[in-house]
């Protein structure tokens, strides 16, 4: 009897488990059917564009959470706005690039002109400097020449003063000296050349009268010679004698 009871219990438990499985399957199938029908209904309502009010069903706990979805019109609007913004940004960037290019070109042109002006100024300054250098060199040369002339004039003045002190006479920018020594013509000329002078050369009547006045009644040698050709008289400077009337 004990075994029979166990068999009956085992059979009962087996039947209970099979009933439970069928119920679970029926509930699962019915939930899936409800979801399919709800999804099909929402799709039909969307196609007919009729506003649907949300409804709560008794199977709320069995429904899965739905994520929000953007409609096609919202997507198109967002895409157009993004495109417009992107176009405006591109236009602004292109405008900025054009403005920068114009500014760079303008500044580059101005810099080139300023550089050319500076080069011209530098060239002019260098030219003026060279001219000033040449003028300064010329002035230095003139100063040197004037200094030499001054020194020469000082030396000549000193010699003139000395000659005046020794008895030299001045007439028409020439100096004359009558020696008290008696010498022949050659010795007299040597005496003159040793003093950086020469025998007198008479060019006109006025000079001849002056020589007579300073010589007094004495005799003196003049600078006539025929040493090259006898009988052909010339002055000691090589010039021919000029005979004047009167």
Mean pLDDT of each 10-residue bin along the chain, 246 residues long: 44 53 51 64 56 45 48 61 89 93 90 90 90 91 93 85 80 84 90 88 86 80 86 86 60
pLDDT of residue 151: 93
Q: H/E element holding 157? A: helix 72-166
User: What is the C-alpha to C-alpha distance for residues 118 and 115, in angstroms, rounded to an integer?
Assistant: 5
pLDDT of residue 1: 41
User: Which residues have C-beta within 8 Å of that of residue 204, sequence separation ≥ 6?
Assistant: 244
Domain extent at residue 44 = 2-64
The token pair at 242 is 């000029």
User: What is the C-alpha to C-alpha distance for residues 171 and 207, in angstroms, rounded to an integer?
Assistant: 8
pLDDT of residue 96: 93
Q: Please check whether residues 84 and 138 belong to one and the same domain.
A: yes
pLDDT of residue 181: 84
pLDDT of residue 165: 75
Looking at the structure of the chain, the number of domains it has is: 3
Q: Please check whether residues 177 and 114 belong to one and the same domain.
A: no
User: What is the C-alpha to C-alpha distance for residues 73 and 65, in angstroms, rounded to an integer?
Assistant: 24
SS3 at position 191? helix
Q: For residue 138, tell me if it sits in a domain.
A: yes
Q: Please check whether residues 88 and 159 belong to one and the same domain.
A: yes
User: What is the C-alpha to C-alpha distance for residues 21 and 15, in angstroms, rounded to an integer?
Assistant: 10
pLDDT of residue 4: 41
């Amino acid at each position: 009897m004990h075994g029979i009871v166990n068999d009956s219990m085992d059979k009962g438990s087996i039947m209970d488990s099979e009933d439970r499985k069928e119920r679970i399957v029926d509930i699962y199938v019915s939930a899936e059917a409800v979801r399919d029908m709800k999804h099909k209904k929402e799709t039909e309502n969307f196609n007919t564009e009729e506003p649907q009010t949300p409804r709560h069903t008794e199977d709320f706990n069995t429904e899965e959470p739905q994520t929000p979805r953007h409609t096609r019109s919202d997507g198109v609007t967002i895409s157009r706005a993004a495109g417009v913004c992107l176009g405006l940004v591109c236009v602004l960037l292109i405008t900025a690039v054009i403005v920068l290019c114009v500014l760079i070109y303008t500044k580059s042109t101005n810099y080139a002109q300023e550089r050319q002006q500076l080069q011209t100024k530098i060239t002019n300054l260098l030219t003026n400097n060279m001219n000033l250098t040449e003028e300064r060199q010329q002035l230095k040369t003139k100063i040197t020449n004037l200094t030499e002339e001054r020194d020469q004039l000082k030396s000549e003045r000193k010699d003139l003063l000395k000659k005046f002190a020794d008895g030299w006479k001045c007439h028409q920018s020439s100096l004359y000296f009558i020696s008290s020594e008696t010498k022949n013509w050659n010795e007299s000329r040597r005496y003159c050349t040793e003093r950086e002078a020469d025998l007198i050369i008479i060019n006109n009547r006025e000079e001849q009268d002056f020589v007579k006045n300073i010589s007094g009644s004495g005799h003196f040698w003049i600078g006539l010679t025929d040493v090259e050709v006898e009988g052909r008289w010339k002055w000691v400077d090589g010039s021919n004698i000029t005979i004047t009337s009167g």
